[in-house]
Amino acid sequence: MKGRLAEFWYGENFLEKGYALDPLKLPLTRQVFSSDGLQGCLGVLGDALPDSWGRYLIKRQYKRTLSDLQILMLDASRQRMGALFFSNTLDDAPSDESHNLEWMLQFSDWLNDNSKDFPEHMEYGSSAGGAKPKCLVNTDEQEWIAKFQPGSEPLDMPAIEHGTLRLAHACGIPVPESRLIALPDGKHVILVKRFDRNDKEPLHYLSGHTLCGVLVNDTGQVINDTRSYLILADTLTKLSSQAQVDRCDLFRRIVFNILVNNHDDHVKNHGVIRSSNGQWRLSPAFDLVAGEGGSRDLAMDIGPEGSKASLSNLMQSLDSFGLTKKEATNEIIAMVTNIRDWKNIFENSGVNINTINKIEWAIQDTIDVSGF
């Protein structure tokens, strides 16, 4: 990597025994691939980088901004998201060290008073993406992502996320298992089981950001507008081993996001996962938070009216999801019916009534579908 110019080629060994890290943009060939940073055809490598939360930790620890390549080299950790592992030397063995619940409690203490030193064994380069405070944790012999209450946030976000995931599950949307835990300080943390692990085996992951081919300049601004569910659906047609099921899942996810006003549904909150037998599938839905993003539009286009969060906008794009009007209408009716039970589901998930009242505005459970 030189400045922003990044070059990549597969090693001979990998050409023989490996698989295409991105079958659409990075086929398993002898070609030298180059890109402006870890994006475009090299986006799959960028998917292993932390986002603003991890970069905040790095900046505090190293007191300067590190390059993407330096960040990838910080932790030769097997805990890193997805199945990629980065090291300067070929014979470096990945570290298997994972955090337990006790470490997670120390981490939460540090979040409450971050003038203190970092807890030991902090993950910097390998921290999960996203903006909310989080860490990786191993409990009950499973790997989880622990997401904490953001410091400045008045709402109980871990509880709302847990309730929203349980509601999505009730609506037939595949989601990872989650648990809501009360911390000694009274705040909540949500543990979300990692879907990029099959037992202990890491599974390879490609984000929607990479699938959609989003490009950003060196100040982080998007320079092409490919943030679209329709483009994502098209990549599922090409890549997924069960494209029709996945496209329908994606359609349901959009309907759900509209109905619960989850407008933080950006390209990095979607992805595909490569199973142990080499098949690609849409990943379970994650980072679903009712009311997140306020009343703005969705974060990705869904139809001729761009990202406008309306069912009629979505209903004009049914070809992309391989659905007839009747099938789509039935999906929506089923979803609205399931969503009507949202208060019970949230309450049974441990969300307190005060929080439920505060997000009531976000849940649309009285939609009239007769007009479609």
Ligand X SMILES: Nc1ncnc2c1ncn2[C@@H]1O[C@H](COP(=O)(O)OP(=O)(O)O)[C@@H](O)[C@H]1O
Which residues of this protein are in contact with Mg ion, per CB under 5 A?
130, 269, 287
Give me the residue label for tokens 């509601």: 167
* Minimum gap (Å) between residue 129 Cβ and ligand X: 4
25, 77, 207 from 48: Cα distances, Å: 16, 11, 9
Residue nearest ligand X, CB atom distance: 130
* Minimum gap (Å) between residue 324 Cβ and ligand X: 32
* Minimum gap (Å) between residue 254 Cβ and ligand X: 17
Toward Mg ion, which CB reaches closer, 293 or 350?
Answer: 293
Residue 321 contact among ligand X, Mg ion, none, beta carbon within 5 to 8 Å by kind: none
- Going 292 to 293 to 294 to 295, the CA torsion angle's sign is negative
- DSSP 3-state of 57: helix
Long-range contacts of 20-28 (CB under 8 A, 24+ apart): 21/45, 21/84, 21/204, 22/206, 22/210, 23/239, 23/280, 24/211, 24/235, 24/238, 24/239, 25/210, 25/213
* Minimum gap (Å) between residue 330 Cβ and ligand X: 29
Toward ligand X, which CB reaches closer, 249 or 287?
Answer: 287
Q: Which segments of 109-242 are extended strands (E)? A: 134-139, 142-148, 178-182, 188-193, 197-198, 201-202, 204-207
Toward Mg ion, which CB reaches closer, 39 or 269?
Answer: 269
Toward ligand X, which CB reaches closer, 80 or 252?
Answer: 80
* Minimum gap (Å) between residue 52 Cβ and ligand X: 8
Residue 286 contact among ligand X, Mg ion, none, beta carbon within 5 to 8 Å by kind: ligand X
* Minimum gap (Å) between residue 264 Cβ and Mg ion: 7
Residue 81 contact among Mg ion, ligand X, none, beta carbon within 5 to 8 Å by kind: ligand X
Q: How would you classify the pairing of strands 271-274 and 280-282?
A: antiparallel
95-131 per-residue burial string, b: 16 or more CB within 10 A, e: under 16: eeebbeeebbebbbebbeeeeeeebeebbbbbbbbbe
Residue 166 contact among ligand X, Mg ion, none, beta carbon within 5 to 8 Å by kind: none
* Minimum gap (Å) between residue 212 Cβ and Mg ion: 15
Please give the structure tokens belonging to residue 184: 């000694």
Toward ligand X, which CB reaches closer, 138 or 317?
Answer: 138
Residue 196 contact among Mg ion, ligand X, none, beta carbon within 5 to 8 Å by kind: ligand X
Binding site for ligand X (CB under 6 A): 53, 81, 128-132, 145, 176, 192-196, 268-269, 286-287
Please give the structure tokens belonging to residue 264: 């933080």
Strand partners, 362: none
Toward ligand X, which CB reaches closer, 311 or 359?
Answer: 359
* Minimum gap (Å) between residue 251 Cβ and ligand X: 21
Shortest CA distance to 206 belongs to which of 139, 133, 274? 274
Residue 128 contact among ligand X, Mg ion, none, beta carbon within 5 to 8 Å by kind: ligand X
Residue 44 contact among Mg ion, ligand X, none, beta carbon within 5 to 8 Å by kind: none
Q: Please, are residues 233 and 241 in contact by the beta-carbon 8 Å criterion? A: no
Toward Mg ion, which CB reaches closer, 147 or 188?
Answer: 147
Toward ligand X, which CB reaches closer, 137 or 311?
Answer: 137
